[in-house]
Chain A
């Protein structure tokens, strides 16, 4: 099941890349497409941040991950590199659990 999902997702992502090089420019330069597509990652990434920080299964929770996200926000504002942002969040969660 996991493999099927992984492979279908890979095929879909490749098809989207190929579509960009293959579809007539008129389709992709349609104002609705140009306006909408860049908003999709903004909304999805924000929803991923929210759900993965403030929930476990179907329950809304407030735990050490919220503190970890706060540290990540500070790291992002300080323009820290990607790995530093991720590692500082993980380290915060690990340290708070030790206390």
Chain B
């Protein structure tokens, strides 16, 4: 229930930000139906809204989606292997379903939690997106309402729970500085890709040491 209300509210802001960024109603809804992973969706529309190319946005979205692959490792033993069920289950592999599934005691309960959470979140996520997008379409000038200040706040809210120790805090600060230093010299959206490459190199080097 709590997760449902949170999802609906989160989706409203996605629908609004996507529309203010210039995506059509159909494109906004397609992202929620087909991509169905919040941080990646916000990243794509955020990059486009800031004047970056949709391809830079798509690359950022895919990089943010890489964490969903790690969730699969924890879920694959709980879910049915192979066939169309796995293909369908894959679409629902997101933060919320993983958290609910791994918190259960038995495989049967985990499976139920995964599918129930997945269906509830999918329904509310898409409903919220549609309402947020329709409401924003009706507005005259989104910038007057401060909509350009909304995406950074959304990214901050997504980032905050990941800053639980000094290392991620240091990485976040460095990434922000590096992105701003590169920004005047490269095409829009590219600072994000530079930051992604640097953090990947850092991660690989650290895992050796």
Contacts and interface: CB of A to CB of B under 8 A. Distances in A.
A99 interface: no
Interface stretch (B37-45, B104-112, B119-127): B37-45
A12 B61 contact: yes
B116 interface: no
Interface string B189-200: 001100110111
B203 A58 contact: no
Given A13-B37, A13-B61, A44-B175, A83 B13 contact: yes
Interface centre among B44, B70, B204 (most CB of A within 10 A): B70
Majority SS of interface residues in chain A? helix
Interface in B25-64: 27, 30-31, 34-37, 39-40, 43-44, 46-48, 50-51, 53-55, 57-58, 60-64
Contacts of A53: 149, 152
A92 to B, nearest CB: 7
A73 B195 contact: no
Contacts, number: 311
A40 B66 contact: yes
Interface residues of A, number: 76
Given A37-B67, A43-B175, A48-B46, A21 B168 contact: no
Contact of A17 (B31, B55, B91): B91
A28 B72 contact: yes
Given A17-B90, A35-B204, A45-B172, 19 more contacts: A2-B24, A4-B54, A6-B54, A10-B30, A17-B65, A20-B75, A20-B90, A34-B207, A36-B199, A37-B70, A40-B199, A42-B163, A43-B199, A45-B156, A75-B153, A76-B157, A81-B6, A83-B10, A90-B146
